[in-house]
Chains A and B, each alone.
Chain A
């Protein structure tokens, strides 16, 4: 029998404390996920689900161009968005950390990130206001006579990219800034002391030391972007659908849960691949 030592009593209490959270996660996250994985290996036939194990959905994914394109579109768009967002966010983070006086940095950062706090749906909608045929850009350009016919800025991949980049520039500014600001100023001084000019200091010392901030932001961007339904649906038009849109199509029109499940698993694998690639930089530690 277990000895009722102090440690045992403590341990039993601890299990009691952690159990609710664990149970919730297992019941409402792990189990559904496993169930969905199982579902992906079944098939939808004539309005009901046939529980016969088969890889039909996955095969269909590789065979049907429309389905496979969903993944490639997602990956391409996500790659472009991640790269652009990093390129645009880094200088901004740098300017706030280096050029803005200490006491205004917090304010500048909050301002740079404020539109983050509009509803995500509304934010994408606002880009429609800017980019559509009778939107702000077209009307302004036509009024000042630069163009005579409105440009097709909305309802295509470019609009989707713009909508995404707008969001993720703010996110990346936060992560890169957080990294920059906790670098000891002595690194810069040491590099200068040893003869490095501003560019060399940045290239050899600052940039490598901000990689964690960049990679964390890039990872978050990848995960959020590749799984997003809202922005492509509002801004992307109906042409180059991304994977989430295709998943939603399976659900909506055809109520094909097995196929939706299979496509979700594929999406999940893409995200896992990204996580493995960035795992080095992502660790949660206790202070």
Chain B
């Protein structure tokens, strides 16, 4: 089954360190949510609290509208898929998958049938009588998934399940997880530190850092319109350029930067409306740079820059540029594959202002 999850002002402290700092989150039923962040950001702590293995120091958790803050794991409508899979080594696969059913008092015949159907869901029905040590890492992970789904939870919690797999297998499993989630409709909460993985599978991503939520939204939103400097930096390569807001009128604001003056529409200020005199940080992704004269939409020239370094990456040239007006800044830009870019070359940089995101300099 499936259910929405509500986290209200959850805080978790361990002695003097704060793992979670006043985190609130509203997850709709059937969503595939990814908790993304570097190690120590609190994502695993939050997952453990959702699973009932930890209690929050303050705040509350509700699943399906019911109060769940201090309910033990056995009585929560959640199951967890552990990072090391935790398959019971002494039981056959079908007994592993059927374990939760057995705890619910379901008879052997029905148990085996349901277990086999879930093994079928993950493509391992033929191995039902094998033991975990006879399987590969990827297969064991599928069994762990089957075991977690067999008890029909409302919420499935996944603790960095794809970390131990090689790249090719990881991509494959990402697709499978997404497909299975759509099929069973359960709410999935998935923890990872890999932003590519998050973007591949999430309906919405929760970017976390040092116990706080930095940003929350669909992958494209977070990538294109990040609401915090950390989120901007974490989701991919980005150029940070300082600037000062000069004038504000109805449609946008004029910002003075080391690269020149740019007029930014209001939509660029994702963390709140701009105010004159305020310092701001412009976030420009390397692939958003255009050469003057090309590109679609309102392209603003940003002055000339000298190529200090350039490497061919197959789909594009990755270039380091030093703006002539501010030679100590280094800009990373992606130039199209068809261009010829040489060291020492002088280009005129341009960008579609709609692609720029402007965020406050100091974030609380």
Contact = CB atoms under 8 A, between A and B. Distances in A.
A touching B, CB within 8 angstroms: yes
Interface of A: 184, 186-187, 189-197, 200, 204-205, 208-209, 211
A208 B104 CA distance: 20
Interface in B86-131: 86, 88-90, 99-100, 102-104
A187 B90 CA distance: 11
Contacts of A186: 82-84, 86
Q: Chain A at the B interface: mostly helix, strand, loop or mixed?
A: helix
A192 to B, nearest CB: 5
Interface string B275-291: 00000000000000000
The 6 closest A-B pairs by CB, nearest first: A194-B100, A186-B86, A195-B103, A190-B86, A186-B82, A193-B73
Contacts of A209: 88-90
Interface string B324-349: 00000000000000000000000000
Interface string B67-81: 000001110001110
Contacts of B82: 186, 189-190
B323 interface: no
B147 interface: yes
A191 B99 contact: yes
A184 B84 contact: yes
B51 interface: yes
Contacts of B148: 193
A194 B90 contact: no
Contacts, number: 57
A184 B159 CA distance: 15
Q: Which of A186, A190, A208, A211 has the most CB of B within 10 A?
A: A190
B86 A194 contact: no
Nearest to B159: A186
B104 A195 contact: yes
B130 to A, nearest CB: 17
Given A200-B103, A204-B99, A193 B80 contact: yes
Interface residues of B, number: 24
A153 to B, nearest CB: 42
A190 B87 CA distance: 8
B99 A194 contact: yes
Contact of A187 (B78, B86, B100): B86
Contacts of B83: 186
Contacts of B104: 195
A121 to B, nearest CB: 41
A189 B74 contact: no
Interface string B147-179: 110010000000000000000000000000000
B86 A184 contact: yes
B147 A194 contact: yes
29 contacts: A184-B86, A186-B83, A187-B86, A189-B53, A189-B82, A190-B86, A190-B88, A191-B99, A192-B74, A193-B73, A193-B79, A193-B80, A193-B148, A194-B74, A194-B99, A194-B100, A194-B147, A195-B74, A195-B103, A196-B74, A196-B99, A196-B103, A197-B74, A200-B103, A204-B88, A204-B102, A208-B90, A209-B89, A209-B90
A91 to B, nearest CB: 22
Contacts of A193: 51-52, 73-74, 78-80, 148
Nearest to A205: B88
Given A186-B83, A190-B80, A204-B99, 18 more contacts: A184-B84, A186-B86, A189-B73, A189-B82, A189-B86, A191-B88, A191-B99, A192-B74, A193-B52, A193-B78, A194-B79, A194-B147, A194-B151, A195-B74, A195-B100, A195-B104, A197-B74, A204-B88
Contacts of B86: 184, 186-187, 189-190
Contacts of A190: 80, 82, 86, 88, 147
